[in-house]
Every structure is written in C-alpha cells, then in structure tokens.
Amino acid sequence: MRTEIMSKLLGIIGYPLGHSVSPAFQQAALDYCGVDARYEAWETPPEGVPQRVQWLRSPEVLGANVTVPHKEAVLPLLEGLSETARRIGAVNTIVNRAGRLEGHNTDVAGFMRALREEGGFDPQGKLVLILGAGGAAKAVAFGLAVAGVARMTIANRTVGRAQELAAAVEAVPQVRAVALTPEALTGDPPWDLIVNTTTLGMAGSPGEGESPLAEAQVPPGALVYDIVYNPKVTPLLATARRAGAHTLGGLPMLVYQGAEAFRLWTGLEAPVEVMFAAARRALWST
C-alpha cells in the first residue's frame, strides 16, 4: 500500500562516498514499501557540511544518514538530539521534522544487534579492544559499556582522543587509552573481542589494503569485528582468520543501523531481508 510520503529525498552525507552501498539497500527498501522517495549519495567535503545540513531543512527532504568524517561535525548544526546521540556525541541519522532537524544514533543498535545475532557474542564480562576513537567508536564503546564488558582498551593514532573516549565510558570497571601501535598494545590479557572502527582497509580510503593489527596481535579464538564492510573480507579479517580468530564483517551492522534509520524517516518497519539482499548485490558487483 502506497504511503502518504510522495516525491521525497533521502541521502547519505560523507567524504568520500565511493565505498557506500547505502543508496542501493535503502532505495530497495523504499521501493519495496511503496515510498515515493529517492535515496542518493551526497558526497560532502568538510567545508561543505554547514550548507549541506541547512539544505536538509527543505520540504522535499526526509533526512539523511551521516558517515565519516562528519558524525560529530553535524552536532552543533541540529536543533534536537536523541538521548543516545547526546550521550555518545555522534550522529549518524538526521530526521527533518518540518524544517527542524533531529539527530539520532542508530549505530549503537545496529552494532549490538549484529554482534549478538550474527556474531553470536555476549559481551558481558568480556575483555574488549576498540581500534579508533571517532564517531563510530563512540557508539561501539557506549553499546559495550551498557552491555557490561569487564575491560576495555581504546587504541587510536591520536591518544588524546582515545583518552577522551575512555573518560566517557568510565562505567567500565577497567578502561585505558593507548596509541594504536604494536608497542602500546602489549600487556593486556588476550582480548575476547576486537572491534575495528577505523577506516584502515576500507575500499577507496587512504588506508585501503592496510590492517590495523598484525597476525601476532590477534588472539586465537577471539572475535574480530571489522565494521568496515567494503571489501567483504578486509585486510584485518584476513589477518584474523590466519591467526585462528572468529570474524564478523561490517555489513550486518550497516543494514541493521540502516533499518532503524528507515523506520525513523518513514514510520514503517524496514524490510531487513530486502535490504540485505540489495546490499550484497551492490558489494558483489564492485
């Protein structure tokens, strides 16, 4: 049944966007549900973010997804924030409510659902290493802190940012911030879960083809979760498999967070299987 939403626009804001399959699976969901809207890729350099966000207030725009490197930059440009987005300090979904822009963070729900349903992993009481300290890392750390992890190490090239994130998840019994270097990542007991939130290894990025960890740094039996979804097997996941670890790619998180964003924009339940199928087709064609 066709909804009342007609001839609307949605899109994703980021820089660069050559890797994104969000337009493919979001458009498939819109078409399946009979929503007359187009989902587009709006590649936006940092200096263009204020103008792009202002344009989102247009009556024809339902909202947007926000990806690297803009998840934090959009915060002061919005009128409202969900409680989750406010606590995390990062936005990945913007909803246009008659010219008033609301920021949400669906990364937390997407990450945790994929971790539990696709990774079969219960984080309570576990030892976790998070690589990166940007907007995605904030969502990951927040979700894992609420889930009750026992120990968390946050490794980032800029240690100051890792320290800020560590301070924000002080509810974790043991949390520390270190540099993302082999020397700094010594001394911890073997991690149960390693999550990569950096862009290292992402297709089309400056770090394409790189792994943030060497094989010797990956404990056999750990779950290595790379939220990068393109390529399907990232350098880190290939490294982890050689080390005897379990692996989980970023596609489930992408689709699950996108499904929650779809619900916020349209008020409809997202056709998750349709979204997964479209995302996989888009990835396999690259």
Residue extents of the structural domains in the chain: 8-105+252-284, 109-249
The domain 8-105+252-284 is classified under which CATH number: 3.40.50.10860, 3.40.50.720, 3.40.50.2020, 2.60.40.10? 3.40.50.10860
> Can you give the pLDDT at residue 6?
53
CATH number given to 109-249? 3.40.50.720
Torsion angle in degrees (nearest 10) through CA of 121, 249, 156, 67:
-120
Task: Label residue 53 by pLDDT band (50, 70, 90).
Answer: very high
Q: Which of 196, 139, 133, 136 is nearest to 159 (CA)?
A: 133
Order of strands, edge to edge, in the sheet holding 246-248? 174-179, 151-156, 127-131, 193-196, 223-226, 246-248
pTM (predicted TM-score):
0.92
- Identify the DSSP state of 46: G
Rounded to 5°, angle at Cα 239 from 234 and 244:
125
Condensed to tens digits (0 to 9), the pLDDT of residues 237-269 reads 999 999 999 999 999 999 999 999 999 999 999
As a whole number, mean pLDDT of residues 37-56 equals 98
Q: Which of 153, 148, 155, 149 is nearest to 133 (CA)?
A: 155
> Can you give the pLDDT at residue 227?
96
- Answer whether 17's CB lies under 8 Å from 230's CB: no
> Can you give the pLDDT at residue 108?
96
pLDDT at 77 over 50: yes
Condensed to tens digits (0 to 9), the pLDDT of residues 10-39 reads 999 999 888 789 999 999 999 999 999 999
> Can you give the pLDDT at residue 3?
46
Domains 8-105+252-284 and 109-249 share a fold: yes
> Can you give the pLDDT at residue 5?
45
Cis amide prior to 23 (ω within 30 degrees): no
> Can you give the pLDDT at residue 285?
64
Condensed to tens digits (0 to 9), the pLDDT of residues 202-236 reads 887 889 999 999 999 999 999 999 999 988 899 99
Q: 8, 71, 126, 138: which is the annotated catalytic residue?
A: 71
Q: What are phi and psi of 132, to 5 degrees?
A: 110, 160
Mean pLDDT, rounded, of the chain: 94
Q: What are phi and psi of 128, to 5 degrees?
A: -130, 140
How far is residue 218's CA from residue 53's CA, in Å, rounded to a whole number? 40
Q: Which long-range contacts (CB under 8 A, 24 or more apart) does 275-282 make?
A: 275/25, 275/26, 275/28, 275/29, 276/25, 276/251, 277/28, 278/21, 278/24, 278/25, 278/27, 278/28, 278/29, 279/21, 279/24, 279/25, 279/251, 279/254, 279/255, 280/251, 281/24, 282/21, 282/24, 282/25
Which helix H or strand E contains 151, and what residues bound it? strand 151-156
71 assigned to active site = yes
How far is residue 29's CA from residue 278's CA, in Å, rounded to a whole number? 9
Show the tokens assigned to 48. Answer: 């263009």
Which helix H or strand E contains 136, and what residues bound it? helix 135-146
How far is residue 254's CA from residue 209's CA, in Å, rounded to a whole number? 21
Where is mean pLDDT largest: 126-135, 185-194, 276-285? 126-135
Task: Label residue 97 by pLDDT band (50, 70, 90).
Answer: very high
- Identify the DSSP state of 232: S
- Answer whether 187's CB lies under 8 Å from 155's CB: no
